[in-house]
């Protein structure tokens, strides 16, 4: 490409491979393959993007808060004994429905009794529910006085000390863990429907599973807030640095593709091991930061190369050879650091390290393959400068700024 920013023929000079080091010859061969396979590379990532969209969305609701003790610890050994002797109890989750009066008066009313029985009817129809107990849900006793007295004592275990709140305990089948989040969401909707006197009674559900569902929802909301607030600022800064609106399409493509690929592939690994709840937030932070950073390396170097008297092919090749080497080294080291966390005997640290390493890996690979392929596919379009390339004054201003550097 010549100094005036106009595109030149893409074919490199014939003497470009003369008197080169072996490493440079190897790189030239690799880049030649990337160049000739540019359409295949773009098509591959596009098909991969479409195929992993649904798994990427599913991954957001496939994490867990459950922490398993490391092997060899006293807790792990105790759990193994319980799993062998009492397999049903270890696979049972406990959730609690609370019913209380808004004015803090006694909750033991006819309305509470009717509501409790309606809740039980609905719970009995759910396949994940193993058992349900509550003040009005214990079996009636018509035998001895002693049995009736014991039943009254048991019932009062489900009522607060002042009688202003009562609970219903729900045992869920942890073996159907993938169905539990959907069950919790439906349960909350059903409680809102059954509680026809919400002005005087409060009905809610708590426990490990509801907390996990709330955490997953909060992570999704937080990711959306981060995307809305932080990423546009980063793109504005990147636009100011590279001074080319057409080039901004590339980091947008690489970031979205990295998001979908890393989240989608990570969803497949949830069938092999448990992924902790904050893993999606960590992955999103890694993808956002590294995508912007790597695009800054590549595109600023590409902008410099376009003002050198050389072909567009050589400009992209030099960009990938110099900036790409930095990206590969940096990304490889960061990935290796996160992989080292996978050797910790704790599930939480393992899942966080593995998910972060996977997201960095995809970000590096996508930036080093998709970016040069897009540049080589549309050389004239990506050669345009300026915040508004169609305006000649804006284009000239951007080119003058580039030459000033």
> Mind listing the pLDDT tens digit for each residue in 264-280?
999 999 888 888 888 88
Q: Report the alpha-carbon distance of residue 326 to residue 298 in Å, rounded.
A: 10
The pLDDT value given to residue 5: 43
| Contact residues for 375 (Cβ-Cβ < 8 A; gap 6+) | 250, 302, 316, 319, 382
At 15, the pLDDT band (50, 70, 90 cuts) reads very low
Q: Output the DSSP codes for 182-242.
A: HHHHHHHHHHHHH-TTTTTEEEEEEEHHHHHHHHHHHHHHHHHHHHHHTHHHHHHHHHHHH
Q: Report the alpha-carbon distance of residue 35 to residue 369 in Å, rounded.
A: 10
Radius of gyration of the chain from its Cα atoms, rounded to whole angstroms: 30
At 179, the pLDDT band (50, 70, 90 cuts) reads confident
Give the lowest-confidence range in 64-73, 116-125, 364-373: 64-73
276 in Cβ contact with 348 (< 8 Å): yes
Statement: residue 349 has pLDDT above 80: yes
Q: Closest Cα to residue 95, out of 113, 119, 75?
A: 119
Range picked from 39-48, 181-190, 203-212, 272-281 for highest mean pLDDT: 39-48
pLDDT in tens, 164-178: 898 898 888 877 777
Statement: residue 1 has pLDDT above 80: no
Q: Report the alpha-carbon distance of residue 131 to residue 150 in Å, rounded.
A: 20
pLDDT in tens, 87-136: 666 567 788 999 999 988 888 899 998 999 999 999 999 988 888 888 88
Please give the mean pLDDT across all residues of the chain. 83
Domains 14-66+230-404 and 74-212 share a fold: no
The pLDDT value given to residue 6: 46
The pLDDT value given to residue 396: 57
262 in Cβ contact with 338 (< 8 Å): no
Q: Report the alpha-carbon distance of residue 357 to residue 11 in Å, rounded.
A: 37
14-66+230-404 belongs to CATH 1.20.1640.10: yes
Give the neighbor-by-neighbor strand order of the sheet with 92-101: 129-134, 165-173, 92-101, 201-207
Q: Report the alpha-carbon distance of residue 247 to residue 383 in Å, rounded.
A: 8
74-212 belongs to CATH 3.40.50: no
CA 100, 106, 111, 116 torsion-angle sign: positive
Mean pLDDT of 349-372: 95
Pairing mode, strands 201-207 and 92-101: antiparallel
| Contact residues for 351 (Cβ-Cβ < 8 A; gap 6+) | 273, 274, 275, 276, 279
At 147, the pLDDT band (50, 70, 90 cuts) reads low
pTM of the predicted model over 0.95: no
The pLDDT value given to residue 310: 84
Domain boundaries, the chain: 14-66+230-404, 74-212
Q: Report the alpha-carbon distance of residue 114 to residue 119 in Å, rounded.
A: 9
The pLDDT value given to residue 161: 78
């Amino acid at each position: 490409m010549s100094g005036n920013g106009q595109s030149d023929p893409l074919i490199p000079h014939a003497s470009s491979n003369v008197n080169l080091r072996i490493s440079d010859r190897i790189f030239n061969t690799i880049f030649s393959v990337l160049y000739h396979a540019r359409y295949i590379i773009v098509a591959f990532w596009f098909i991969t993007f479409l195929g992993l969209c649904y798994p990427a969305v599913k991954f957001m609701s496939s994490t867990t808060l459950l922490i398993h003790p490391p092997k060899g610890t006293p807790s792990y050994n105790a759990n193994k004994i319980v799993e062998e002797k009492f397999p049903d109890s270890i696979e049972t989750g406990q959730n609690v429905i609370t019913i209380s009066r808004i004015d803090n008066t006694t909750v033991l009313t006819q309305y509470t009794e009717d509501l409790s029985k309606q809740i039980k009817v609905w719970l009995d129809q759910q396949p994940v529910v193993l058992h349900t107990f509550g003040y009005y849900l214990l079996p009636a006793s018509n035998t001895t006085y002693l049995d009736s007295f014991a039943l009254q004592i048991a019932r009062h275990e489900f009522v607060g000390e002042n009688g202003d709140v009562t609970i219903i305990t729900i045992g869920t089948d942890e073996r159907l863990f993938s169905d539990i989040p959907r069950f919790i969401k439906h349960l909350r909707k059903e409680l809102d429907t059954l509680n026809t006197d919400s002005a005087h009674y409060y009905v809610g559900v708590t426990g490990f599973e509801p907390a996990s569902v709330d955490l997953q929802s909060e992570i999704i909301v937080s990711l959306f807030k981060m995307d809305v607030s932080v990423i546009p600022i980063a793109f504005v800064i990147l636009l100011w640095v590279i001074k080319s609106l057409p080039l901004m399409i590339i980091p947008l493509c690489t970031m979205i593709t990295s998001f979908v690929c890393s989240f989608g592939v990570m969803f497949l690994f949830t069938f092999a091991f448990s992924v902790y709840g904050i893993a999606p937030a960590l992955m999103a932070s890694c993808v956002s930061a590294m995508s912007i950073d790597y695009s800054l390396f590549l595109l600023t170097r590409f902008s410099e190369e376009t003002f050198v008297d050389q072909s567009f092919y050589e400009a992209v090749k030099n960009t990938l050879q110099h900036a790409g080497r930095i990206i590969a080294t940096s990304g490889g080291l960061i990935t290796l650091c996160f992989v080292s966390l996978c050797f910790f005997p704790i599930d939480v640290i393992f899942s966080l390290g593995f998910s972060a390493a996977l997201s960095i890996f995809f970000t590096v690979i996508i930036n080093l393959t998709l970016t040069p392929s897009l540049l080589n596919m549309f050389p004239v379009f990506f050669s345009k400068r300026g915040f508004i390339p169609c305006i000649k004054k804006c284009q000239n201003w951007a080119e003058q700024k580039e030459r000033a550097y």
